[in-house]
Structure 1
Amino acid sequence: MNKIDIHALRQIGWDRWDPIGIRQLGNSAWRSGAADEYDSYLLHAANMILHGAALDTVAAYLDGIISSDLALGPVEDAVHRASLHTAEAISAYVQANRASS
């Protein structure tokens, strides 16, 4: 597998997950100030997938980040769906990256 491209993971995170809503600021200035906000979480999720974790497990990890680490309270259905879509997108990225190596 090629090295994980953090920029690809960031795009997935910002497009599908963004639990604290930084993207909603309405301009691109957030990209320079907060681009790395979710890096450690997304890298961990990618590594979970690389090591065979199920998508539900990865989504539960992301939900845990939201409720515990970010202290945003209980995860609602729409938020869980965003976590699951994020896990699916990361999995697709990992699989595509494996195929190209």
Structure 2
Amino acid sequence: MPLLDLPLTPPPKIKLSRLRDIGWSIWDPIGLLRSEQKWDDKECLTFADEYDGYLVQAAGQLRRGAPDSDVVDYLVQIESEHMGLGTGNGALNRAKRVVDAIHADKELWTYPE
């Protein structure tokens, strides 16, 4: 079968709840959650999606093979410049931990059958 005749397979889908678990437990640069809260608590649902776009972008970059350092830099830039929080507040350490957690989560992506 010629290569051009191969059927296209849909890309994997991210399990947003797992990504939120990573983001809210490790990243949360704004500090929206109190220590006893979880992102899916009823009182938190109004802002549960606050970091989704950034984290989906980071996870997608990693899935496509971007170097860890580029994704760490992206998260630090979002926190320090876009959110205006600066870099002296542990941004680099948080970003590295998020990248490590994304790599470690073997159930983050679902693949079509």
**Could you tell me how far 1:56 is from its partner in structure 2?**
1.6
Judged with a 3 Å threshold, the aligned counterparts in structure 2 of structure 1 residues 97 and 26 are, in CA distance, closer, same or farther, namely: closer
Instruction: Give the match's secondary structure for 2:46.
Output: helix
| TM-score normalised by the chain length of structure 2 | 0.74
Task: Judge conservation of contact 1:55–1:87 (CA < 8 Å) in 2.
Answer: yes
Give aligned pairs, total.
98
Gaps of 5+ in 2: 1-10
Counterpart amino acid of 1:68? E
Judged with a 3 Å threshold, the aligned counterparts in structure 2 of structure 1 residues 98 and 62 are, in CA distance, closer, same or farther, namely: closer
| TM-score normalised by the chain length of structure 1 | 0.82
Instruction: Give the match's secondary structure for 2:14.
Output: coil
Gaps of 5+ in 1: none
Identity, % of aligned pairs?
34
Counterpart amino acid of 1:89? A
Task: Judge conservation of contact 1:22–1:30 (CA < 8 Å) in 2.
Answer: no
Report what 1:14 is aligned to.
Answer: 24
Question: Given the alignment of the two structures, is residue 87 of structure 1 paired with residue 87 of structure 2, yes or no?
Answer: no
Could you tell me how far apart the structure 1 residues matched to 2:48 and 2:12 are?
Answer: 22
Q: Which moved more, 1:41-50 or 1:25-34?
A: 25-34
Could you tell me how far apart the structure 2 residues matched to 1:7 and 1:98 are?
Answer: 9
Q: Which moved more, 1:75-84 or 1:7-16?
A: 75-84
Report what 1:38 is aligned to.
Answer: 51
Q: CA RMSD in A?
A: 2.4
Moved over 3 A (4+): 25-30, 97-101
Q: Which has the larger radius of gyration?
A: 2
CA deviations over 1:32-77 (Å, ceiling 9, x no partner) = 111000000000001100111122211110000011111112x127
Counterpart amino acid of 1:88? D
